[in-house]
Amino acid sequence: MNFLSTFVTFENLHEVRRLCHWGPIIALSVIAICSTMAVLDSIIWYWPLDTTGGSINFIMLLNWTVLILYNYFNAMFVGPGYIPLGWKPENQQETQYLQYCRVCQGFKAPRSHHCRKCNRCVMKMDHHCPWINNCCGHLNHAYFTSFLLLAPLGCSHAAIIFIMTMYTQLYERISFGWSTVKIDMSAVRQFQPLMPFSVPAFAATLFALGLALGTTIAVGMLFFIQMKVILRNKTSIESWIEEKAKDRIQHYQTGEDFIFPYDLGSRWLNFKQVFTWSGTPKGDGLEWIVHPKCHQHTLTIEQLKQKADKRVRSVQYRAVEDYNGACCPVSKGLQTFFRTPCTEEPRIPLRKGDTILATRGTKWWMYGDKALSEEQIRAGERVRGWFPRRCVEKCHYDTAASDSTSDKKVN
């Protein structure tokens, strides 16, 4: 898909407003700082016009910047693809297997979910990403994942430039006592630097190095998480649905063999569903290629079962640890810290003994509603958000009275 076409086809300028958000502002600022400092330090460290190595280094640096911005803006402006307002399946009998969205005044197609931020039903929704201020879904999943790959690669290259620039400029000025460390810098000493490497330049380079290394680690981890679900042809939401399906089967001992319908049995086939040479993923976002033992509505039927299951058996969680509501709690473990959900949705503080009804989650975090007092319910209060999985433990309530009470608290 042509990058420029995303701007040409704008019917109005409302999409450009996505840039006016803290997520894109921070992301583009990091890209601008790292790219600018890398270009300036390349001129100081490895002049591109005098050596072949310098020219290759400079061209690669510019290439990373262009590719990163290309995929970033496509992920933001192409968007995930939305279910048409008022959509209905051609076969009216299929409506019994689909959920109805009151906001969009239409049925949710298979794999679609309603996003509260975008206020639309999103095709194959994975999550709403604040860094692109848009959802990650069917149409932009490849662009988003490519951005997650290219950003760490570009930042790693920039970090090498920052380190070598500081080393070469400080090599003769400061004695570190590294008598055994010898680096041949004859190639980079064939010219006098066009710009002096002053104290402010050193501070700016050090700051940019911190940004580059932090981005490499954080975004790199997100890339591996995305590739994990892509190779299984899942989304993060569908992973949670599958987990609840296995929990339901285990609780009732139904003997069912739940098969995830969109896993084609081969990582390569799953990969090609998202990444294509044309840039447009396979499928129209309404119908999907499914496992031979499944059909188009296998997962939506499972969702309806889980929705009905809430009315007869409420699976609740009880807090076993206090949690202060921090976005990245260091005290809850490194995995919890680094794998915090990349979303604007709030975190809910917990106190030991609190009851929460979880609706979705990941391996390290869960999302749900906190049980409130009768006075808070009558006042219309609602506490919903993310919390660390390690802070809670599962508890089952099988009585109708407990279920009725919990449903009132959630609804």
Q: How does DSSP assign 122-146, residue by residue?
A: ETT--EEETTTTEEE-TTTHHHHHH
The CA R_g of the chain, rounded to the nearest whole Å, is: 26
395 is catalytic: no
- Sign, Cα dihedral of 18, 23, 29, 35: negative
3-state class (DSSP) for residue 322: coil
φ, ψ (nearest 5 deg) of residue 18: -60, -25
Closest CA to 345 of 245, 236, 247: 236
- CA 227 vs. chain centroid, Å, equals 11
* 148 neighbors 226 (Cβ within 8 angstroms): yes
CB 383 within 8 A of CB 356: no
Strand, coil or helix: what is 392?
A: strand
Number of DSSP helices (H) and strands (E) in the chain, helices first: 11, 11
Selecting among 101, 129, 135, 136, the annotated active-site residue is 129
Bridge partners of 136?
A: 127
The SS3 call for residue 92 is helix
In contact, 230 and 274? CB cutoff 8 Å: yes
Angle between helices 267-274 and 141-170 (to 10 degrees): 90
Residues with active-site annotation: 129
